Amino acid sequence: MFFTKMLIPTLREAPSDADIISTKLMIRAGMIRKLASGLYEFLPLGLKVLRKVENIIREEMNAAGGQEITLPLIFPKDLWIETGRWNVYGKELFRLKDRKEAEFCLAPTAEEAVTDLVRKEVKSYKQLPLMLYQFGTKFRDEIRPRFGIMRSREFLMKDAYSFHTDEADLEKYYKVMVDAYTNVCKRCGFEFRAVEAASGAIGGSFSHEFMILADTGEEEIVWCGCGYGANSEKAEWLPLLQTKEEPLILEEVLTPNVGAVEDVAKFLNASPEKFIKSIVYKVDGNPVVVLVRGDHEINEIKLQSLLGATEVVLADEQTVIAVTGAPLGFAGPVGLKGVKIIADLSVVEISNAVAGANKKDYHLKNVNYKKDYNADLIADVRKVAHGDICPRCKKENLRFSRGIEVGHVFKLGTKYSKSMNATYLDTNGKENLIVMGCYGIGVTRILAATIEQSHDDNGIVWPDNIAPFNVVIIPINYSDVKTKETTDKLYKDLTSKGIDVLIDDRDERAGIKFKDADLIGIPYRVTIGEKNLANGNVELKTRNGSKDSSRLLKPEDAMLEIVKIFS
């Protein structure tokens, strides 16, 4: 492809409303343009990347036994009433009416439509398992669209749905899909982690998120070299037994006007690990006191699933006073009555702890579990912290990274088949609910997240397999006969081997061509100039700045080298 034949409107500056680096660079590289808030156009170069990612995903879905379909983008309200999602989805759902006043929504996901298709067409266990997937535009009426194509109102997603006779079969297939997603991420070439995710409101189900690592990511994940990985909301840690000190006698100390752990710690000259932080919650309306170590944070998601509660909120001041008999900041476990106490696993290990005295301006020293207080429940209710040990290998320290979620695999179970009555007849002719899994990848999001991970001051650094072109050839002066000859021959040789090549045939200064090549992020660059050609050489340069990133080679050797990389 010739640069002059393609619409690649590169820019020196990004528009001022581009709020993250990936948006800035994609606009500057002429890949996308903004039409309106949260709505983006993909130009030829941007679409090329999107299609490459799409093809990798399609190949892996097909290899996992999937069959591609296309569902409408507009769904009738009735289906959404059946699952109850019309009412629970809220304002993010784009809703519209046709000329007869019938109501519809624009697809945010397609569980309803695909379950409807399957309940009509699948009758027997002989038709299962079945996996259907599609690439489709999805819509979300974001309250404040931002982060470019990362959180836009319209985006391309691959959504897949699997249908099974029972949980065991779903379990087996779920692993196939985790592998397929892992392959997609590996082939796309970005650094990623597959992490266990909190299952959220659907309850009981198990799920994994696929995260592209990037310092700008919104999610915090923890991981270990042994393969363990989890969203920090869900992450577990290895409880460690502490060496117990000789219990000292409980002592009340005056701590006037200091309530926060850090302040009391300073005042008493003790470290926060010695503290018992006592927080009063309202769990489905009832007060519950939760104890964590002074340097730890309560994980409300863990608390909620531990108690099987629907609502966990911090108690108001009045409740705190009613429960502890003291104002905020002086709660402690000693002497509490008539309220459920939940202690984190790390708390009961503290010897001679400091805790609130349930009395204004007083704390207690030398508080010990069993001797001075009890708990109704001892469990993991805190967030992972730096220094925690991996729960799987029980050896390494957990590591923390930030990530951008690009994929999510999820066991749905019978949530949708139950509400929509999707059943099959088993070997005995008995009717059973179909068991489902669902699997999404944000295709547009992969582009933005990859750039967030992989860029430098000069522009995008695409991984080899999803770059808009594999190679850019830059003839310094394309009207020079020998330069043109060498350029055209190399182009022909490379394209005949299936390499995707761009020739920058513009009548521009070399500096401008180099700058644009770096901005667009094409992984390999061959520069052809009269000076090097005099010695029979061209320059091969890699975009990623690795060692030996620039070398002089014979054109045929440059070709062989590139072919080797992409074969």
Where does this chain bind Zn ion (CB under 5 A)?
A: 224, 226, 228, 390, 392-393, 396
280 phi, psi to nearest 5 deg: -95, 125
Closer by beta carbon to Zn ion, 227 or else 335:
227
Least distance from Zn ion to the Cβ atom of residue 197, Å: 18
Least distance from Zn ion to the Cβ atom of residue 397, Å: 9
Closer by beta carbon to Zn ion, 208 or else 445:
208
Closer by beta carbon to Zn ion, 227 or else 536:
227
Closer by beta carbon to Zn ion, 110 or else 224:
224
Least distance from Zn ion to the Cβ atom of residue 403, Å: 18
Q: Is 421 left (phi over 0), alpha (psi -120 to 50) or beta?
A: left
d(CA 74, CA 71): 9
Token couple for 145: 């669209």
Least distance from Zn ion to the Cβ atom of residue 113, Å: 41
Least distance from Zn ion to the Cβ atom of residue 193, Å: 13
Nearest 5 degrees, angle CA 21-CA 23-CA 27? 120
Closer by beta carbon to Zn ion, 47 or else 385:
385
Closer by beta carbon to Zn ion, 166 or else 396:
396
Least distance from Zn ion to the Cβ atom of residue 241, Å: 19
Least distance from Zn ion to the Cβ atom of residue 174, Å: 22
Q: How many CB atoms lie within 10 A of CB 431?
A: 10
479 phi, psi to nearest 5 deg: -85, -5
Least distance from Zn ion to the Cβ atom of residue 228, Å: 5
Least distance from Zn ion to the Cβ atom of residue 229, Å: 9
Peptide bond into 129 cis (omega under 30): yes
Closer by beta carbon to Zn ion, 84 or else 227:
227
CB burial string 199-231: b at 16+ within 10 A, e below? beeeeeeebbbbbbbbeebebbbbbbeeebbbb
β-pair type (286-293, 276-283): antiparallel
The CA dihedral of 406, 411, 416, 419, to the nearest 10 degrees, is -140
Closer by beta carbon to Zn ion, 394 or else 489:
394
Closer by beta carbon to Zn ion, 146 or else 399:
399
Least distance from Zn ion to the Cβ atom of residue 178, Å: 18
Closer by beta carbon to Zn ion, 72 or else 225:
225
3-state helix, strand, coil in the chain (%, to 5): 30, 30, 40
Token couple for 80: 């959404």
Give the list of residues 6+ apart from residue 375 with CB closer than 8 angstroms, or none. 291, 333, 341, 342, 343, 348, 369
530, 480 in Cβ contact below 8 A? Answer: yes
Tokens 């990936």 correspond to 22
Q: How many CB atoms lie within 10 A of CB 241?
A: 6
Of the chain, the end-to-end C-alpha distance in Å amounts to 20
